[in-house]
Amino acid sequence: MTTWRPDPSFYPSPRMAAKAPKETLAYVAAFDPDRQRPDAIAVVDVDPASSTYSKIVGQVDMPNVGDELHHFGWNACSSCLCPNAPHPHVERRYLVVPGLRSSRLHIIDTKPDPRNPQIVRVIEPAEVAERANYSRLHTIHCGPEGIYVNALADRDGKAPGGIFLLDHDSFDVLGQWEMDRGPQKLAYDFWWHLGHDTMITSEWGTPDTFENGLVPEVLLNSKYGRRLHFWDLNKRKHVQVIDFGEEHQLVFELRPAHDPTKAYGFVGCVISLKDLSASIWTWYRDGNQWAVKKVVEIPAEPADPDLLPPVLKGFKAVPPLVTDIDLSMDDRFLYVSCWGTGDMIQYDVSDPLAPKETGRVRIGGIVARATHPKAANGALNGGPQMVEISRDGKRVYFTNSLYGAIDPQFYPEGIDGWMVKLDVGDNGGISFEEAFFVDWPKGHRPHQVRLEGGDCSSDSYCYP
Amino acid sequence: MDFWPWLSLAGLGAFHGANPAMGWLFAVALGFHRQSARIVWLSLLPIAVGHAASIATVLAVMVAFGAVMDLRSLQLIAAAFILAFAGYLAICGHRHRVRVGMRAGMAGLAAWSFLMATSHGAGLMLVPAVLSLCLADHAGMAGMAGSLSVSLAAVAVHTGAMLAVIAAIALVVFSWLGLAGLRSAWINFDRLWTLALGATAIILLIW
């Protein structure tokens, strides 16, 4: 399986990766919220010169129903070029696709025909439980020691959730990653600063508090996750915890700077219990410690209770619900999905402690129901959610579904899936690409997007 | 005195040094991270020390075995071990637990270099050359002492050549070329090493 030369999609530095060729295909996780038919990875044509541009041109169905495909990743990426753990003679070829609900892992080969990927291996939940003691598989990152998978719970569906490793080549489950987890119990996202030997993890909750939807009592008592954990990436030891305080709930998506010499990154907090606002926080190095600072607060918008779902009527406001963020390869622009209000906001984060808004579009939204030039139906539901940026930073793609059991709490009539694309101005500014709108086939909802050859949340780098 | 074993020791030193996984790339990366050419030079020393310690360990084991068994048995045992090791690398690859990262200090770099050289079988490749030197030497000062001094000289020659090559490559890459070339020029040294180990075993067998 090894090659003579490094995979051409591996780049030593984010600077070089930003010059990569344009993507022509996007892989999108699509799930059936009713758990009646298999979830799928859909292949979307994103090549404007193609006759099937903006259409789903392929699909691979999972062998079971009810997986709840969510996030997924590549078997190998630019971190294979790292000098301390070099193994660059592998192909970026397989998508590693976990089921968040089923805890099943699918290995999907994109090589013989990228438009017609095939499942080559399925790792059953029992194997993950047996070898790593985890379940509820969430996020995938390729990294120095193999493929890292995080899990939101242990094999019994309880805390602690954590991370385990898969072998690059065989995809065998190698075992639990943590050697000393310290006070960490809850899990959600993870990523790292390769240049600072640091892993960072965030928190959601145990499966009993989200698999049937968010539990208001848990939320209002601030029992969902609100802490960041910092780890020694090589010793696999917990080194620091930062609590965002009782007001802040659901500290989710982690986006460290791509430049490995920089020691800062961004994390979104979905909701404040004080005023329903959402916030963006920057973590950074402060002496010998990590520190955090709230750098953006996005307020809730007052709304007519008649237009609000039951869970929000009493508040008479739409929360922004920042559920995903993504950082461009040059660490300049941060994209923030406001799944509640329907905004996608672009910030210039050249100064990571003082972001400046440089662009905003609105589509869908709990109250706004904003439309898209190419949408047949004039009132879109769902809102900006999983967002992905092309390596050159010129194109941004996103979809509109969050999680099967939570979607109806905020969009009670259900979500009709869509995927859209933004064009990015040279110095910021975003606008809809009018010719790109995927009206997602009924029965499935789209979630995470991965771009052919890599994107801004798939690869990490060891060289500046 | 035969010149070829010394030349092959130096040649293998150059071969090991050229492999990005043996340290020059790590030194260059640390130089870029800390924006300092001095860091590149400083890093090369522990990398060379770790490499030298690894091959010295392998040669010491060989000399110890040589003291208690005849030449042919030693050759056969060494060949069998090297073949098994090459087979293991071919099947299982070169991936290992990563213990040292980009914040490595000098001791960390030396330990990393020792582990990389050992796990890639760097010292094993030197066995035929060192054996032939020990044999040539045997006429004069027989026994273990002679073998040890020859082995130490072998480590010095090999490491000197390796250090010269990693220094030259690190200088050129850090100062002029940059790292873009890695994408195409980084050929699969792991395969070459497995082949080289196979060749080493064959040399020992057909001696």
A151 and A193 Cβ atoms separated by less than 8 Å:
no
Residues within 8 A of A (CB atoms), B 169-198 only: 179-180, 182-184, 186-188, 190-191
d(CA A140, CA A125): 16
Mean of pLDDT values over B173-199 = 95
Q: Give the DSSP per-residue string, A132-183.
A: H-EEEEEEEEEETTEEEEEEEEETTS-SPPEEEEE-TTT--EEEE--SB-TT
A196 contacts on B by Cβ (under 8 Å): 102-103
Residue of A nearest to B27 (CA): A83
Mean of pLDDT values over A408-420 = 96
**For A369-373, B44-48, B71-75, which range has the lowest pLDDT when averaged over its residues?**
B71-75
Residues within 8 A of A (CB atoms), B 61-90 only: none
A234 contacts on B by Cβ (under 8 Å): 98-101
d(CA A42, CA A25): 10
- For residue B141, the model assigns a pLDDT of 43
A4 contacts on B by Cβ (under 8 Å): 187-188, 191
Q: Reply yes or no on whether the pLDDT at B142 is more than 70.
A: no
Cβ contact B179–A13 (<8 Å)? yes
Cβ contact A234–B100 (<8 Å)? yes
Among A15, A110, A117, smallest CA distance to A58 is for A117
Which ranges in chain B belong to alpha helices (H)?
A: 4-18, 24-34, 37-68, 71-92, 106-119, 127-138, 144-172, 182-185, 189-206
Mean of pLDDT values over A356-367 = 98
Placement of tokens 């990366």 in the chain: B29
What burial class does residue A57 get, using C-beta atoms within 10 Å of its C-beta: 0-12 exposed, 13-18 middle, 19+ buried? middle
Cβ contact A83–B29 (<8 Å)? yes
Among A447, A441, A451, smallest CA distance to A71 is for A447
Q: How big is the A-B interface in CB pairs under 8 Å?
A: 94
- For residue B66, the model assigns a pLDDT of 86
What is the nearest CA distance from B180 to chain A, expressed in angstroms?
7
- For residue A143, the model assigns a pLDDT of 95
Edge-to-edge strand list for the sheet holding A343-348: A322-327, A333-338, A343-348, A356-362
Residue of B nearest to A82 (CA): B26
A16 contacts on B by Cβ (under 8 Å): 179-180, 183
A11 contacts on B by Cβ (under 8 Å): 183
Cβ contact B183–A233 (<8 Å)? no
Q: Which residues contact A237 (CB under 8 A, 6 or more apart)?
A: A179, A180, A182, A231
Residue of A nearest to B181 (CA): A12
Is the Cβ of B98 closer than 8 Å to some Cβ of chain A? yes
3-state secondary structure of A83: coil
Split at pLDDT 50, 70, 90, the class of B137 is low
Domains recognised in chain A with CATH numbers: 14-451 (2.130.10.10)
**For A14-23, A266-275, A451-460, B96-105, which range has the lowest pLDDT when averaged over its residues?**
B96-105
Q: Reply yes or no on whether the pLDDT at B100 is more than 90.
A: yes
Residue of B nearest to A81 (CA): B182
* Residue type (1 letter), A253: E
Cβ contact A83–B186 (<8 Å)? no
B21 contacts on A by Cβ (under 8 Å): 86
Q: Reply yes or no on whether the pLDDT at A432 is more than 60.
A: yes
Residue of A nearest to B34 (CA): A261
Cβ contact A6–B20 (<8 Å)? no
- For residue B143, the model assigns a pLDDT of 61
Mean of pLDDT values over A108-121 = 97
- For residue B94, the model assigns a pLDDT of 66
What is the DSSP code (8-state) at residue B163? H
Cβ contact B184–A6 (<8 Å)? yes
What is the nearest CA distance from A146 to chain B, expressed in angstroms?
9
Chain A contact probe: residue of B169, B174, B179, B195 with most A CBs at under 10 A: B179
Cβ contact B188–A84 (<8 Å)? no
Residues within 8 A of B (CB atoms), A 168-207 only: 168-169, 194-197
Q: Reply yes or no on whether the pLDDT at B138 is more than 70.
A: no
Residue of B nearest to A167 (CA): B95
Would strands A343-348 and A333-338 be described as parallel, antiparallel, or unpaired? antiparallel
Residue of B nearest to A11 (CA): B183
What is the nearest CA distance from A147 to chain B, expressed in angstroms?
12
d(CA A453, CA A396): 15
Cβ contact A5–B102 (<8 Å)? no
- Work out the widest C-alpha separation in chain A, in whole angstroms: 63
Residue of A nearest to B29 (CA): A463
pTM equals 0.96
Mean of pLDDT values over A383-403 = 98
d(CA A312, CA A278): 15
Split at pLDDT 50, 70, 90, the class of B2 is confident
Select the more confidently predicted residue: A390 or B69: A390
Length of chain A: 464
Residues within 8 A of B (CB atoms), A 64-103 only: 81-89
What is the nearest CA distance from A117 to chain B, expressed in angstroms?
26
d(CA A55, CA A51): 9
B24 and A86 Cβ atoms separated by less than 8 Å:
no
- For residue B1, the model assigns a pLDDT of 57
Among A47, A144, A141, A57, smallest CA distance to A98 is for A141
Would strands A395-399 and A38-45 be described as parallel, antiparallel, or unpaired? unpaired
B26 contacts on A by Cβ (under 8 Å): 83-84
- For residue B97, the model assigns a pLDDT of 85
Split at pLDDT 50, 70, 90, the class of B140 is very low
- For residue A67, the model assigns a pLDDT of 98
Phi/psi for A248 (5° steps) reads: -100, 130
A81 contacts on B by Cβ (under 8 Å): 182, 186
pLDDT digits (tens, 9 = 90+) for A50-78: 999 999 999 999 999 999 999 999 999 99
d(CA B126, CA B12): 8
Split at pLDDT 50, 70, 90, the class of A376 is confident
Split at pLDDT 50, 70, 90, the class of B92 is confident
Q: What share of chain A is helix, strand, coil (3-state, %, to 5)?
A: 10, 45, 50
pLDDT digits (tens, 9 = 90+) for A297-344: 999 999 999 999 999 999 999 999 999 999 999 999 999 999 999 999
Cβ contact B33–A84 (<8 Å)? no
pLDDT, chain A, mean = 97
Length of chain B: 207
Split at pLDDT 50, 70, 90, the class of B115 is very high
pLDDT, chain B, mean = 92
Question: Percentage of chain B with pLDDT > 70?
Answer: 94
Cβ contact B20–A83 (<8 Å)? yes
